[in-house]
Amino acid sequence: MSKTILAIESSCDETSISIVKDGVHILSNVIASQIDLHSRFGGVVPEIACRAHEEAILPVLQESLDKAQLTLQDMDAIAVTYGPGLIGALLVGVSAAKSLAQSLDIPLIPVNHIESHVYANFMRDDVLDTDMPCVSLIVSGGNTLLVYVKGWGDYEIMGQTRDDAAGEAYDKVAKMMNLGYPGGPIIDQLAQKGDASLKKFPRARIKDNPYAFSFSGLKTAVLYYIEGLETYKVEDVAASFQEAVVGVLVDKTFKAAKAKQVSHIAVGGGVALNSELRKAFQAKAEEEGLRVSFPGKGLSADNAAMIAGLAYHRLLAGQVSDVSLDVDPSLPLRNWGTV
Ligand code: KG4
């Protein structure tokens, strides 16, 4: 049966509301970014994020309905990110979702933000039957993990970061060189003009788990390197740093795909926008005879369309909640059955 779901995403610094039909047809996906508010601090300031979500949520809701040319009465369910993320930021979205679901008397669907980054890869037009099971690499500002995805709600975490997320390392390295925020896209641009062969930064190996990550040592190595120099070319440091990050991500992800004997790798999260990462994954995929996918336009970084999309499958599986739903700032990726 056809279902139209409105989803709210407010876990970090984007207020997003989207309306999606049957898990894939995006009718609207409005994203209000707070980058300008946080950039002078070099990172997301939780208090500022909460206030900005409060201010943005109603206008974003209206814009999303207008773009879809629908009204709230056309919705079959309301979905919301309930974790992981910043507690105050999540609360704004969850409170709004609860009010909407209760006043419209329709189901409330709680969605895990990490899981939806995987799902974003399955909202493209060219999805194949053989794309599931897959190995998914989620690389964002808050998370870096490798997951064996057997189906929606059926996951095995193969490894995750022991310290910084990859996006966080990009942001921190950019801050060290006073390049601005968020650092990922800036370093991505600069690296294209740099020479990565000038410095080989360390790539962490985690003894007890070949699929786990660590980026704090790399970040410190970059800091010591630039502190030890009188002048340096930011483009070269950016290129060398990026080569180390991308190298580790490619290596571990393809090892994981081999171990699980899957034919498809799905990369999601804000860092999936990185041009070098896309090139390196594509090249290696061709070499290994595997298929690699990235989310479509507007679906890599935080957005509510991926929340509404995944919510469709949760609704069909009966994974709904009532108004007692609470936020969970450190919600892990876990199998369905426990809401
Ligand atoms: O998925 P996302 O929007 O938010 C989280 O859930 O964290 O990801 C934001 C992260 C930031 O750390 C940002 O620097 C990084 O994604 N990012 C990039 C690029 N674009 C965004 N990192 C590397 N290269 C990019 N082109």
Query: 171-180 pLDDT, tens per residue?
Result: 999 999 999 9
Counting from 1 in the atom list of ligand 1, the atom nearest the Cα of 242 is 23
pLDDT in tens, 127-165: 999 999 999 999 999 999 999 999 999 999 999 999 999
Ligand 1 center to 302 CA (angstroms): 9
Q: Is 42 in the pocket of ligand 1 (CB under 6 A)?
A: no
Nearest CA to ligand 1 atom 16: 270
CA distance readout (Å), 193 to 69, 232, 271: 44, 14, 19
Q: Label residue 331 by pLDDT band (50, 70, 90).
A: very high
Rounded percentage of the chain residues whose pLDDT exceeds 90: 93
Query: What integer pLDDT is reported at residue 76 of this predicted model?
Result: 98
Query: What integer pLDDT is reported at residue 1 of this predicted model?
Result: 82
Report whether pLDDT(339) > 80: no
Counting from 1 in the atom list of ligand 1, the atom nearest the Cα of 143 is 7
pLDDT in tens, 199-230: 999 998 899 999 999 999 999 999 999 999 99
Give 331's DSSP letter: P
Rounded Cα distance between 7 and 39, Å, is 27
Query: What integer pLDDT is reported at residue 69 of this predicted model?
Result: 98
Helices (H), the chain: 35-38, 46-68, 87-104, 113-119, 166-176, 183-191, 216-227, 234-260, 275-288, 305-316
Report whether pLDDT(276) > 70: yes
pLDDT in tens, 226-262: 999 999 999 999 999 999 999 999 999 999 999 999 9
Nearest CA to ligand 1 atom 10: 141
pTM: 0.95
Counting from 1 in the atom list of ligand 1, the atom nearest the Cα of 166 is 12
Query: What integer pLDDT is reported at residue 40 of this predicted model?
Result: 84
Q: Label residue 170 by pLDDT band (50, 70, 90).
A: very high
Q: Is 93 in the pocket of ligand 1 (CB under 6 A)?
A: no
Query: What integer pLDDT is reported at residue 198 of this predicted model?
Result: 86
Ligand 1 center to 122 CA (angstroms): 20
CA distance readout (Å), 234 to 105, 141, 229, 303: 55, 21, 12, 31
Ligand 1 center to 138 CA (angstroms): 11
Ligand 1 center to 294 CA (angstroms): 14
Ligand 1 center to 257 CA (angstroms): 23
Rounded to 5 degrees, what are φ and ψ at 63?
Answer: -65, -40
Rounded Cα distance between 293 and 271, Å, is 14
User: Is residue 36 within 8 Å of residue 77, measured between CB atoms?
Assistant: no
Query: Cα torsion for 285, 289, 290, 292, to the nearest 10°?
Result: 40
Q: Label residue 266 by pLDDT band (50, 70, 90).
A: very high
Q: Is 244 in the pocket of ligand 1 (CB under 6 A)?
A: no
Counting from 1 in the atom list of ligand 1, the atom nearest the Cα of 273 is 26
Q: Label residue 195 by pLDDT band (50, 70, 90).
A: very high
Mutate to test the pocket of ligand 1, among 140, 243, 331 (most ligand atoms within 8 A of CB): 140
Ligand 1 center to 205 CA (angstroms): 23
Query: What integer pLDDT is reported at residue 42 of this predicted model?
Result: 80
